[in-house]
Structure 1
Amino acid sequence: MNTSLRGTKNIVRRAGVTALAAAVLTGVAVPTASAAGQDRPDLQRAAQEVVDAGFAGMQLRVRDERGEWTGSAGVRELGGTAKPPTDGHFRVGSTSKNFTATLVLKLVADGRIGLDTPVAGVLPRFGFDRRITVRMLLQHTSGLFNHTGEYFPDGTIVPGIPWQGQEWVDKRFHTYQPEELVRLALSKPPRFEPGAGWSYSNTNYVVARLLVEAITGHSFADELDRRILRPLKLRDTLSPGAWSGMPKPYAHAYYTYEDAGQQKTLDVTHQNPSWVSSAGDMISTTKDLQTYFSALQSGKILPTWLLAEMRKTDPRSEALFGLYGLGQFSKDLGPDCGGVVLSHNGSNNGYGALMYSTPDGSKTMTASITSGAVAADAKFPELLDKLLKTVFCGK
């Protein structure tokens, strides 16, 4: 991708990929040859099953002891017949959090800030509780109100900025400033005292963005580019800011919602992601995600001691994707599947992303899922479990 795009260029309801509206469309997986020149019918079937369950399309990339395999299933665009491109760009949603955490940890490695440094001292203009530390931001234990809304176990919802329904559709090209999102969160009561609990809050990672900019004196996008994207040659990955475009090639994504009692479906491939900022605004490809996450887990980005810190999980964070560390999940698939896999999935309106790796970075799975016109929400946990077993267990 032209690097000039970076200069011009998820939400999670709870964590990682949430409900994606999707179309029940048929499609045949079209794999490329793996590095070993072998077909992978198991992976073809796995991609096809996701589409058959109701999603419009899927790109899937797996690298393991048999080589590298890429394939796609479904359609690139509703009403068309072309398959999603296996090198297509997509919005990665909360997978962005892993990049943001890694960038902050790069500054920790350089001695620019400490994991237990109070945030208030670096960003005094906001009046943060002085007990909130950098570590608490990255692990979601700060207690900061989630600016996209808080969802409580008893069903209570405290709304934040609009990110769904007609209200979001009407504002999907609106630009929010990171400071605006943080001040909205600070205007609400915290979910709990700093360190007293765990709750997934997009605000934590917007504050992390502001920390990077305050420490370095440069924009978040420039620092991400300089410290991570360029060294790893991730030419198809960017932090777009308020840019609503999508680099080609790409598969279209759709958002289905109700308006005045009627169901509507809208192409939302182009949207302004500033409402979620560095908590979920990034664009990438399955290839770039694979390169990045493998490099991270194999120790090529962070020193060993910081990688160990990243993997320390909070036992209060149990979720669909496992336990949360510093910007990533850790899930034990059991001894039959080789044990632990590390991940950070993500979604926003229309796109979903999967990013998994073994702890040594040798086996990876990255994917994009696009939605269409029919909801397939309830099926996703079962689909994900089956996909993980196919890739990491050979089952």
Structure 2
Amino acid sequence: MAEFQSPGRPKVRAAIDSVVPELGVPSIMVQIRDEDGTWFGSAGVADTVTGAPRVPGEHLHSGSISKAFTAATLLQLEAEGRLSIDDTVDRWLPGAMAENGYDGTQVTIRHLLSNTSGLFATGMALEFQRRYLTRSAFDEHRFDVYQPADVLAIALSEPPVGRPGETFWYSNGGFAFAAAIIEEVTGNSLESEVHRTVVRPLGLKHTFMRHREETGYHGRHPRSYSKLYLKEGTRVEDVTPETWTTLMEDPSLPPMDTTDVNTSGGWGAANVVATPDELITFYTAMVTGGLLPADQHRAMWDTVDTAGTYWLANARYGLGVYQLTLSDGQVLRGGGGASYGTYTFTMGTPDGKRMMLVHTNNDWAAFPAIDRIIEAEFGAGGLRLEM
């Protein structure tokens, strides 16, 4: 595997080498782009059955990084004069949010993209939990296809967590409504508009947003592995912040291969597949203003505090993107995304001159693994969930 490893960066190399044996993850890979060029390093295996190594140019399912693609598409549409991010949901989708205590006449596109709409955390919807939070349920439902109406209904299936603009609350459902607005405004699919407004202008030849029936990749990719399941027979209604740790399955059980899965339930919030090079190119453009006009770039980075919201500590959220303040005060900008058994993190300095991507093909130790790499490269850590 030595032919795939770049020389130099001994602290990063040491951190990479520590992750697999100490945290028990299948693999980790790191790619860094700065004024000296591109650096690549990895440890562990992309496939625990074949022992295949991690290699440059792999295709990654980027999870919630897709939110930034959806946000950038809407901001491009605003720059084209086709909408305003201060338009309400009802302006484009009359009555679509008029249930269960929600009011689409008060929620704006800006609220959707900044996670301040009042929508609850869609990933905690009982419908999703029933389908995916035990191994047997996941295996039964892994190829379920969600239509747009299904996703919007799930996004409204629990009452609001607050009034629009009142507080940050991370919600995939806001990006489903954002996707629906894109399709209503343009008459085209979300996937084609992401390609037109973001992928093609940035020259991203290996980046695409999956259509709802798709489950695969267009090139070599690592397998994904998950261990975060409830014990078989657990009723999801019984899971609370006080009981969930006792209801999780034995952590010594072997991981489940979750590579082959339909992710259409994350419409607007997931489904982008890209290579590390192209994710770094994308985020460099988001950080520096290399894609969006000045007004839209400023709007993207008009951030809100996320403290006390069961999300990342030391973070501020913009429109589909966020910034992370490390323990020594350094600020990084970019984003991250989890999917079933995979986590991708792409961030760098606010001037875009040093950008780093970290990917690990697991979900049980992703945050501590990635934080080790952040600390090795930037001299301080800070990636942790706030509970």
TM-score when normalising by structure 2: 0.83
The percentage of counterpart residues that share the same residue type is 30
Alignment of 1:106-255 (within 5 A): 106-128=76-98, 129=103, 130-149=105-124, 162-165=131-134, 166-242=136-212, 243-255=214-226
Matches within 5 A, 1:270-289: 270-289=260-279
Q: 1:277 to 1:108 in 2, by over 3 A?
A: same
Aligned to 1:388, which of 359, 363, 374?
A: 374
User: How many Å apart are 1:145 and its aligned residue?
Assistant: 2.9
Comparing 217-226 with 319-328, greater Cα deviation is found at 319-328
Question: Does structure 1 conserve the Cα–Cα contact (< 8 Å) formed by 2:314 and 2:325?
Answer: no
- Superposition pairs for residues 349-360 of structure 1, below 5 Å? 349-360=340-351
- The CA RMSD measured in Å over matched residues stands at 2.5
CA shift for structure 1 position 80: 3.2
Q: 1:268-291, CA deviations, whole angstroms, 9 ceiling, x for partnerless residues?
A: 211111111221222111111011
Q: Deviations over 1:209-230 (max 9, x none)?
A: 1111111111011111111111
The alpha carbon displacement at 1:159 in A equals 6.6
* SS of the residue 1:137 aligns to: helix
Question: How far apart, in 2, do the equivalents of 1:394 and 1:327 lie?
Answer: 24
Cα contact 2:183–2:190 (8 A) shared by 1: yes
- Output the amino acid matched with 2:190: F
Give the alignment partner of residue 334 of structure 2, picking from 330, 340, 343. Answer: 343
User: SS where residue 39 of structure 2 aligns?
Assistant: strand
SS of 1:292's equivalent in the other structure is helix
What letter is aligned with 2:376?
T
The verdict on how the C-alpha distance between 1:317 and 1:193 changes in structure 2, with shifts beyond 3 A counting, is same
1:40 matched to 2:15? The reply is no
How many positions carry a matched residue from both structures? 351
> 1:289–1:355: 8 Å Cα contact kept in structure 2?
yes
Change (3 A) 1:119 1:331: same
Q: Which runs of 5+ in 2 are unaligned?
A: 234-248, 382-387
Q: Which amino acid aligns with 1:364?
A: M
Indicate if the aligned counterparts of 2:344 and 2:359 stay in contact, CA closer than 8 A: yes
Q: Residue in 1 aligned with 2:289?
A: 299
Q: CA 1:239–1:149 in structure 2 vs 1: closer, same or farther (change >3 Å)?
A: same
Does structure 2 conserve the Cα–Cα contact (< 8 Å) formed by 1:109 and 1:303?
A: yes
- Structure 1 CA distance, aligned partners of 2:130 and 2:25? 27
Residue 310 of structure 1 corresponds to: 300
Q: Distance in 1 between matches of 2:332 and 2:178?
A: 25
Change (3 A) 1:365 1:178: same
Return the structure number with greater relative CO, CA threshold 8 A, min gap 6: 1
The answer to whether the 8 Å contact 1:320/1:381 transfers is no
The runs of at least 4 consecutive aligned structure 1 residues that moved more than 6 Å come to none
Give me the whole-angstrom Cα distance separating, in 2, the residues matched to 1:29 and 1:393.
26
TM-aligned CA distance change 1:221 to 1:190, over 3 Å: same
Change (3 A) 1:309 1:125: same
Larger CA deviation: 312-321 vs 288-297: 312-321
What letter is aligned with 1:149? M
Is 2:321 aligned against 1:328?
yes
In structure 2, how many angstroms separate the alpha carbons of the residues matched to 1:169 and 1:81? Answer: 24
Deviations, residues 83-122 of structure 1 (Å, cap 9, x unaligned):
1122111211111111111111111222211121111110
Q: Post-superposition shift, 1:248?
A: 2.2
Question: Which blocks of at least 5 consecutive residues in structure 1 are unaligned?
Answer: 1-27, 151-156
Q: CA deviation at 1:81?
A: 3.0
The answer to whether the 8 A contact 1:62-1:391 is kept is no
Please tell me whether the aligned partners of residues 236 and 284 of structure 1 are also in contact (alpha carbons under 8 angstroms): yes
Structure-to-structure mapping, 1:18-29, within 5 angstroms: none
